[in-house]
Structure 1
Amino acid sequence: MNLILFNTNEIEKPLPIADSRAQHILKVLKVRAGESFDVGLINGPRGKAVVISQQETHLSLSFHWHESKNQFLPINLWVSYCRPQTCRKILQECTSLGIQSISFFDTEKCEPAYRDSKLWSTGEAERLLIRGAEQAFCTLIPKLSFGASLDELIQDTPNKGEGIALDNYEAPTELGANQSYAFPIILAVGGERGWSKSERDVLRQNRFKLLNLGERVLRTETACIAAIAILRSLISD
């Protein structure tokens, strides 16, 4: 990890030696008493932490914060439940890219078992978001939410901005061919078997543009990353 993140309620307490962050500080960064390392406050500033002392059970740390210039990309990702390992990659890598929210939802071709994975009930998904931010040397954690269906997500998002849906079969144009989009954007990505006919109809009825990423068939996590990177390149500074 390039940045070690803390919650607000943790910075006044000793860091237990058993905590994975303490292990990283001592064994990977090899920081000793009196030395500093890079830290961040979740959804807050970055700064430096100094190891005041190392005890058998904990580290005592002192935090010093700097002004933060972090900001989210104006991109919200909607993606079908996929295999847990695929979802893990999406959570971490798309957080590293800086999107502001990720919503997972059921599609008609989605395997029901995917939404019942322990990934969603054990706190692992939230930890992967943090890991993605730490990799990117950023403190911002995207909002994570879940929907029962595409219809439900659309109904719950009245002011969604411009909608783009990736599609391999009926999209006439490549995402990168249009150099002008109205941000913020919702980027909708179907599951491993794509959209159903009725889902395409719902997308069109709600003014989502069906766009593709070229003739190659990509894995879901690759499609998410590629599309976010293309959209990022089109955002005016």
Structure 2
Amino acid sequence: MTRRRFIADTWSPTTATLTGDQAIHLARVLRAEPGQIYDVVAGGFLHRAEITTVSPTEVHFTLHEELESDSALPLHLLLAVFKFDHMEWAIEKATELGVERITPILARRTEKHLAQASAKRAERWRRIALEASKQSRRTTIPEIADPIALKPALEQEQSPIRILLSETEQATPLAEALRQDQPTTSNHQPTTALAIGPEGGWTQDEMALFTQHQWQPVTLGPRILRAETAAIAAIAIAASILQPN
């Protein structure tokens, strides 16, 4: 039987603690008791952990042996901000699929009221990523950055492989571009940055910025997809090529 997995709120080399909703669920719903064994992620590492003390608001563990776990997909998703309910769905599914980082982008065609409200949504997006990480039994939680305008985001990007989904590109499929960019002499998988635009796509000025910063435009095929559909399709394709062994 698969043990339940939790992500520690605080930890040391030998102990971990759950607080807040996780502790309430474990203490009140699951009726946790000292001596019970669970899987606990602490500091990015998965451990077999034994409950030592339980209170209504905190559950304390002793960490035992480290367990084998999967690595995050080496993918940085730059996701233009769009309708919040669709955006939340995309963040949830991107987390389940294993992305390492997500940066919300304030694009020219991001609706003004969404751009203005996006900063206040960042914490909600992080909570969604946390819950999706627990649900999908991830060892790591993707970093969700604060929303940022496109120009500074491109200036800060350090990923050596930079892929842009573009509705105007018809020749180079995403899978082909990713395979061409994979290292042939190193076991280290470099991070790939993948940019997905808002409803209506990137403007010409934004496309020029991507070109200036050496992003490669690619296509997902002949159909025009909603932003959240394009995000999930692109991540699934990328996972088949970039997934760590």
Q: Same fold (TM over 0.5)?
A: yes
Q: How does 1:31-110 map to 2 (within 5 A)?
A: 31-41=32-42, 43-52=43-52, 54=54, 57-58=56-57, 60-67=59-66, 69-110=69-110
CA distance in 2, matches of 1:13, 1:38: 11
* Unpaired runs of at least 5, structure 2: 183-189
Instruction: Confirm or deny that 1:131 pairs with 2:131.
Output: yes
- In 1, the alpha carbon distance for the partners of 2:226 and 2:71 equals 28
C-alpha offsets along residues 1-48 of structure 1, whole Å, 9 cap, x if unaligned? 9521112259968756xx32134325665645543322212x422223
Distance 1:171 1:150 in 2: 23
Give the drift of 1:60: 4.3
- 1:4 aligned residue: 6
TM-score where L is the length of structure 2 = 0.79
Matches of 1:216 and 1:79, distance apart in 2 = 19
Which secondary structure state, in structure 1, belongs to the residue aligned with residue 100 of structure 2?
Answer: strand
The amino acid across from 2:160 in the alignment is G
3-state DSSP of counterpart to 2:103? strand
Is the CA contact 2:163–2:194 (under 8 Å) kept in the aligned structure 1? yes
CA RMSD of aligned residues (A): 3.0
What is the aligned-residue identity percentage?
23
Q: Which residue of 1 aligns with 2:185?
A: none
TM-score normalised by L of structure 1: 0.81
2:175 is matched with which residue? 176
Deviation at residue 109 of structure 1 after TM alignment = 0.7
CA-CA distance at 1:213 after TM superposition: 1.2
Given residue 36 of structure 2, which amino acid in structure 1 is its aligned partner?
Answer: E
Partner residue in 1 for 2:186: none
CA pair 206-123 structure 1, distance change in 2 beyond 3 A = closer
Whether the 8 Å CA contact 1:147–1:153 is kept in 2: the answer is no
* Distance (whole Å) between structure 1 residues aligned to residue 72 and residue 57 of structure 2: 34
Conserved in 2, the CA contact under 8 Å of 1:52 and 1:59? no
In 2, are the aligned partners of 1:164 and 1:209 still within 8 Å (CA)? Answer: yes
Contact 1:3–1:137 (Cα < 8 Å) also in 2: yes
Match of 1:21 in 2: 22
Given candidates 210, 219, 225, the residue that maps to 1:218 is: 225
Q: Does 1:234 align with 2:235?
A: no
What is the total number of aligned residue pairs between the two structures? 232
Q: Which runs of 5+ in 1 are unaligned?
A: none
